[in-house]
Structure 1
Amino acid sequence: MPELSAVPAAVAAGPTGSAAAPTELSAEDTKLVVLARGARARVGAVEGAAVRDQDGRTYAAASVALPSLALTALQLAVASAAAAGATRLEAAAVVTEASTLDGAGHAAVRDLAADAPIHVAAPNGTVLGTVVE
């Protein structure tokens, strides 16, 4: 489970692995944070997430906690992308109150992209860091 403060090489690294300030996102990655915030707020979920696939399509989702099914927002966003035919992800964002990126969501993104940046943001949209490993 990548922890933002425990993975200094991964935090604030861009898609090429070079260092960048965590709040400096491209317009497309900023859109992912906005979509994730909206998904979270719409249903009052613990987390919201959004991913962008190889064709530039975006998928947003909120965490699900049912008696028979529990998915993180990032897992559901990745599943939605895969179900729509995505074979690769360009980037992901998750909005959460947690200080770490959940392991299940991280693994789901890595199933479709070994190096896509995963931006972690607070509920107010402030980017806390980016995980690229």
Structure 2
Amino acid sequence: MTDLSPEDAKLVTLARATRARARSVEGAAVRDRDGRTYAAASVALPSLRLAALEACVAMAVSSGATGLEAAVLLSDDVQDAAGIDSVRDFAGHGVPVHVGDARGALSTSLFT
């Protein structure tokens, strides 16, 4: 996949950098309706588990965002697109979620 807008390509870069920095199995980034971006890695604590997309959605919601324009999920296991339900719950239907591997090579684009 190479037909990403510059804004969506930025989400790939943010997700990749966040995943690498946290040494996590997942990295994600989202852009809200105001153009603000949020990036997060998955969280695996004994008392808290969040997929990377869930963490991004939580950040957006707690920052007062009213919806999302796009999301990116990079994962060691691209078959398991965890967190897409949280994007749908918050932003509704029709939001593109670009999914790729840990290197940032996108394999598919889903829509909530």
**TM band (smaller chain):** over 0.9
- SS of structure 2 residue aligned to 1:93: strand
- SS of structure 2 residue aligned to 1:118: strand
Match of 1:110 among 85, 88, 97: 88
**Structure 1 residue 102: Cα displacement:** 2.9
Does residue 78 in structure 1 map to residue 57 in structure 2?
A: yes
Q: Which amino acid aligns with 1:73?
A: A
Q: Which 4+ runs in 1 deviate beyond 4 A?
A: none
Residues 1-133 of structure 1: pairs in structure 2 closer than 5 A? 22-103=1-82, 105-113=83-91, 114-133=93-112
Superimposed CA distance per residue, residues 92-121 of structure 1 (whole angstroms, 9 cap, x where no aligned partner): 001112132434x01110012211100001
Supply the RMSD in Å over aligned alpha carbons: 1.1
Q: Which amino acid aligns with 1:127?
A: L
**Is the contact between residue 73 and residue 81 of structure 2 (CA under 8 Å) also seen in structure 1?**
no
**Is the contact between residue 81 and residue 99 of structure 2 (CA under 8 Å) also seen in structure 1?**
no
Question: Percent identity among equivalent residues?
Answer: 53
Given the two structures, how large is their TM-score scaled by the length of structure 2? 0.94
Superimposed CA distance per residue, residues 58-116 of structure 1 (whole angstroms, 9 cap, x where no aligned partner): 0000000000110000000010000000111000001112132434x011100122111
CA distance in 1, matches of 2:76, 2:64: 30
CA distance in 2, matches of 1:132, 1:107: 11
Q: Which amino acid aligns with 1:108?
A: S
CA distance in 1, matches of 2:45, 2:25: 13
Q: Which amino acid aligns with 1:49?
A: A
Normalized per residue, the structure richer in strand is 2
Q: Which has the higher contact order (CA 8 A, sep 6+)?
A: 1
CA distance in 2, matches of 1:36, 1:117: 15
Q: Greater CA radius of gyration, 1 or 2?
A: 1
For structure 1, list consecutive stretches of 5 or more residues without a partner in the other structure: 1-21
